[in-house]
Structure 1
Amino acid sequence: MSNELDEVTGPVDANGRDINVINKQIPVTVGTGSLLFEIALWTVIPALGILFLLAGVLPKEEAIKMIVGGVLPGAIFQFMKVKALSYLRALQQKIQADASQIDNYLEQRVVILENVVGLVKKSIDLDTDVMKTVTAYRSGHNLGSDAQRNEASQQLDGIFSRIHVAVESYPDLKSQAVIADAMRQNSYLQKEITAARTLYNDTVAMWNQDIFAWPTKQIVAARAAYTTRIPFTASAETKAAARSKFF
Structure 2
Amino acid sequence: MRKFLPWIIIGAIVVIVIFWAMGIQNKALGFSQAVGKEWGNVDASYQRRNDLIGNLVNTVKGAADFEKSTLTAVIEARAKATSVTVDPSNITPEQLAQFQQAQSGVSSSLSRLLVSVERYPELKANQNFLKLQDELASTENQILTARTRFNESVQAYNGYVLAVPQKWFLGSYPEKPFFKSVEGADKPVEVKF
TM-score tier, shorter chain, comes to 0.7 to 0.9
TM-superposed deviation, 1:194: 1.2
Residues 168 and 220 (structure 1), Cα distance of their counterparts in 2 relative to 1, 3 Å cut: farther
- Match of residue 85, structure 1, among 21, 25, 33: 25
Determine if contact 1:105/1:189 at 8 Å carries over to the other structure: yes
Query: What is the DSSP-based 3-state SS (H/G/I as helix, E as strand, rest coil) of the residue aligned with 1:238?
Result: coil
Greater per-residue helix proportion? 2
Residues 85 and 130 (structure 1), Cα distance of their counterparts in 2 relative to 1, 3 Å cut: farther
Determine if contact 2:162/2:175 at 8 Å carries over to the other structure: no
Whole-angstrom distance in 2 between the partners of 1:154 and 1:102: 14
1:228 aligns with 2:175: yes
In structure 2, give the amino acid aligned to 1:190. Answer: E
Percent of aligned positions that are identical? 17
Whole-angstrom distance in 1 between the partners of 2:109 and 2:145: 20
TM-score by length of 1: 0.62
- Match of residue 131, structure 1, among 55, 75, 78: 75
Stretches of structure 1 that go unaligned for 5 or more consecutive residues are: 1-60
Whole-angstrom distance in 1 between the partners of 2:144 and 2:182: 13
Find the structure with the greater CA-based Rg.
Answer: 1
Determine if contact 2:73/2:109 at 8 Å carries over to the other structure: no
Query: What is the DSSP-based 3-state SS (H/G/I as helix, E as strand, rest coil) of the residue aligned with 2:170?
Result: helix
In structure 1, give the amino acid aligned to 2:168. Answer: I
Alignment match, 1:207: 157
Of the structure 1 ranges 119-128 and 186-195, higher mean CA displacement relative to structure 2 is found in: 119-128
Whole-angstrom distance in 2 between the partners of 1:159 and 1:135: 12
TM-superposed deviation, 1:228: 1.3
Residues 133 and 165 (structure 1), Cα distance of their counterparts in 2 relative to 1, 3 Å cut: closer
Alignment match, 2:133: 183
TM-superposed deviation, 1:135: 2.1
1:164 aligns with 2:114: yes
TM-score by length of 2: 0.77
Determine if contact 1:158/1:237 at 8 Å carries over to the other structure: no
Of the structure 1 ranges 147-156 and 101-110, higher mean CA displacement relative to structure 2 is found in: 147-156
Residues 218 and 175 (structure 1), Cα distance of their counterparts in 2 relative to 1, 3 Å cut: same
TM-superposed deviation, 1:179: 1.9
- Match of residue 66, structure 2, among 99, 122, 127: 122
- Match of residue 106, structure 1, among 42, 46, 49: 46
Q: What is the number of equivalent residue pairs in this alignment?
A: 178
In structure 1, give the amino acid aligned to 2:125. Answer: S
Query: What is the DSSP-based 3-state SS (H/G/I as helix, E as strand, rest coil) of the residue aligned with 1:214?
Result: coil
TM-superposed deviation, 1:232: 1.5
Alignment match, 1:238: 185
Whole-angstrom distance in 2 between the partners of 1:165 and 1:129: 14
In structure 1, give the amino acid aligned to 2:118. Answer: E
Whole-angstrom distance in 1 between the partners of 2:3 and 2:77: 70
CA offsets 1:67-107 (integer angstroms, 9 cap, x no match) = 33124333212211112212222221211111111221211
Determine if contact 1:101/1:196 at 8 Å carries over to the other structure: yes
1:143 aligns with 2:81: no
